[in-house]
Structure 1
């Protein structure tokens, strides 16, 4: 049994797997980390491995504390991955992006894959049908766009995510929501259109905290799975065990 943990920029997500079966998911704040992990290990006493994707600012020691109960593995660039990394600066490629690429490679063989992770940042990762990771893009997500409008202007208010009724804002708040939400939707659809024009036999995978919100607004057909990174962590670790 495997407990996968994704430490992101904003929150921590975790999931328990028995083989390929997803048993339960958890979402919590960073300050709750040790308490929550302890409760999960108490609930699922047969967990053998704690597999961590560490992007956010959480110390490894918080996980090492559980080494007397389970085997702890931090996914790193030294792990075995099921794709060839053709990134120009491979050591700077985020572990979360590598895990997503690995999951897409393993779960959707013999296809071109574009993984879009909609969280604090929006990341785009392309793995071709020959299992070569080619690169992608990084852009600010919803929260960063709202915050930048507030922080770098004198009078614009700080708003939180809200769906605009129309693309024509009739007030400052409506205009901000239209610009942020519609702008990001147009951006994602535009990226997808570019990839679809360049590649046949391509699957689009949308994941991340804002995946559900975005999935209903995109014109392109996508596969939306907010737990894709956790599932990919499980798949990547199983691949490592079999191929090391």
Structure 2
């Protein structure tokens, strides 16, 4: 059994893996040490991997170190990967981005993959058919866009993304909501169409906490996968454990 710990901007995601299969997920506050301990008591974990896009508190780091099994710290640009990282500034690459790219590519080795993650930011990450991570793009997510419209103007309200979503807004609230959310959909549709023209054998993974209504015909190659980051972390953990095992066998 393997444990992945993905510490993000808004929450921490814990996932239990049996081999390559995700068995259970727990989402909790970033520094909820009790939930971490409770989750780890449910399964006979042998090892784990921790990734974070924010500084980890001393208390959480201490709690992870105190677990009764080894937890590897994944560091982008430092930890060995089962794919080739071609990013020119690997140390600045978000660990969640490269983990998602690993997770997607390992499902379709030999084919190009594009991962689109709609969260605090919208990220687009691409791996070619040779298993080379070539990079990607970062765009503001829904929350940032709503806040920017409110905080950077004198009169526009802060609108909740949940609510009526007409094709054409009939009020200021619906105009903002439709403008932001439909704008994101059009943006993503544009990326997908452009990448499919260049890479006909492309596989596309959508993840993140925002539901999208995409209007494109090539949906057979698009997969929604909330576990794509944990799956990538699990693959990275297994890859590093295999490297260590091979080194020991060669001594």
TM-score (norm 2): 0.90
SS in 2 for 1:30: coil
Spell out, residue by residue over 1:54-104, the C-alpha distance to the aligned partner (whole angstroms, 9 max, x if none): 103432651333434221211112211122222122221111111111112
Say whether 1:8 aligns with 2:8: yes
Spell out, residue by residue over 1:169-213, the C-alpha distance to the aligned partner (whole angstroms, 9 max, x if none): 110001001110000000000011111111121001111222xx1
Say whether 1:51 aligns with 2:49: yes
SS in 1 for 2:106: helix
SS in 2 for 1:16: strand
1:37 counterpart residue number: 36
Q: Is the 8 A contact 2:109 2:129 kept in 1?
A: yes
Spell out, residue by residue over 1:121-147, the C-alpha distance to the aligned partner (whole angstroms, 9 max, x if none): 110000000111111100011111111
1:98 counterpart residue number: 98
Please give the alpha-carbon distance, in whole angstroms, between the structure 1 residues aligned to 2:65 and 2:30: 19
**Which runs of 5 or more residues in structure 2 are unaligned?**
245-251
1:217 counterpart residue number: 214
Please give the alpha-carbon distance, in whole angstroms, between the structure 2 residues aligned to 1:243 and 1:163: 50
Please give the alpha-carbon distance, in whole angstroms, between the structure 2 residues aligned to 1:164 and 1:88: 43
SS in 1 for 2:16: strand
How many Å apart are 1:105 and its aligned residue? 2.1
1:180 counterpart residue number: 180
1:73 counterpart residue number: 72
How many Å apart are 1:50 and its aligned residue? 2.9
RMSD: 1.6
Say whether 1:129 aligns with 2:126: no
Q: Is the 8 A contact 1:208 1:227 kept in 2?
A: no
Q: Is the 8 A contact 1:164 1:181 kept in 2?
A: no
Q: Is the 8 A contact 2:31 2:60 kept in 1?
A: no
Classify 1:224/1:60 alpha carbon distance in 2 versus 1 (closer, same or farther; 3 Å): farther
Please give the alpha-carbon distance, in whole angstroms, between the structure 2 residues aligned to 1:21 and 1:125: 23
Please give the alpha-carbon distance, in whole angstroms, between the structure 2 residues aligned to 1:137 and 1:182: 19
TM-score (norm 1): 0.92
How many Å apart are 1:48 and its aligned residue? 2.0
Please give the alpha-carbon distance, in whole angstroms, between the structure 2 residues aligned to 1:43 and 1:194: 45
1:157 counterpart residue number: 157
Please give the alpha-carbon distance, in whole angstroms, between the structure 1 residues aligned to 2:122 and 2:146: 14
SS in 1 for 2:65: coil
Which deviates the most, 157-166 or 8-17? Answer: 157-166
Which deviates the most, 74-83 or 64-73? Answer: 64-73
Classify 1:176/1:230 alpha carbon distance in 2 versus 1 (closer, same or farther; 3 Å): same
How many residues are treated as equivalent by the alignment? 239
